[in-house]
Copies of this chain bind each other. A is one copy, B any other.
Amino acid sequence: VRIYGDRRSGNCLKVKLTADVLGIPYAWTEIAVLAGETRTPDFLVMNPAGQVPVVAFDDGRVLAQSNAIIRYLAAGSNLLPSDLFAQAKVDEWLFWEQYSHEPYVAVARYKVSYLGMAIADIDPTLLEKAYGALTHLEAHLNKDDWLANRAPSIADISLAAYTRLALEAGFDFGALPSVKNWLSRCDETFVPRSTNP
């Protein structure tokens, strides 16, 4: 397996962590998004959507979209339940992440970590939506230790990725104690079994 990814991208870190936790050996090819490396002709042949992460299997099959990749890698493991409805409850969070969390939390963090903006200078509407998504997580994590099915899964790996990066970028988590505890719980639970490059 070869993972094409940008090490500063939460979407790519989801794939790395899932592979590390499951002990799946891989090679890593660093693709610098800001340098336009997802838009080169060679890259676009591999993924016409021009996005990382992409995983290429040894037989030539290629898979894109972080949540599709981690769902595929986790099949049959303890990171994804075998019951189909329980899987759907994981999917619920994965799709919510892409539509209602990533576009705000990851984009706000991008402006800070990639573009060097001060948090105070971020568009207030974007900031409000980012904190809104985090508050939705907080409300759930006030009641449950984990996002789906009261058990750790790729739903937690997926949602924790950009949530953690937002914390590291200096966003205010003062009103999000359950989210912070959950991030620590994720650290203790999702322990790499393999050390890859």
Q: Which residues of A contact B (CB under 8 A)?
A: 48-49, 51, 61, 63-69, 71-72, 75, 84-85, 87-89, 91-92, 94-96, 98-100, 102-103, 136, 139-140
How far, in angstroms, from A136 to B61 measured CA to CA in the complex?
A: 20
Q: 27 A-B pairs, CB-CB below 8 angstroms?
A: A48-B136, A49-B100, A49-B136, A51-B100, A63-B88, A63-B92, A65-B91, A65-B92, A66-B95, A67-B95, A68-B88, A68-B89, A68-B95, A69-B88, A71-B88, A72-B84, A72-B85, A72-B87, A72-B88, A75-B84, A94-B95, A95-B95, A95-B98, A98-B99, A99-B99, A99-B102, A103-B103
Chain B positions within 8 Å of A51 at CB level: 100
How many monomers of this chain does the complex have?
2
Question: With A49-B100, A100-B49, A140-B48 known to touch, is A92 a contact of B75 (CB < 8 Å)?
Answer: no
Q: A144 to nearest B CB, angstroms?
A: 12
A98's contact among B72, B75, B85, B98, by CB below 8 Å, is which? B98
Complex-state Cα separation, A102 to B98, whole angstroms: 11
Q: What chain B residues lie within 8 Å of A49 (beta carbons)?
A: 96, 100, 136
Chain B's closest residue to A133 (CB) is: B49
* Chain B residue contacts of A65, Cβ below 8 A: 91-92, 95-96
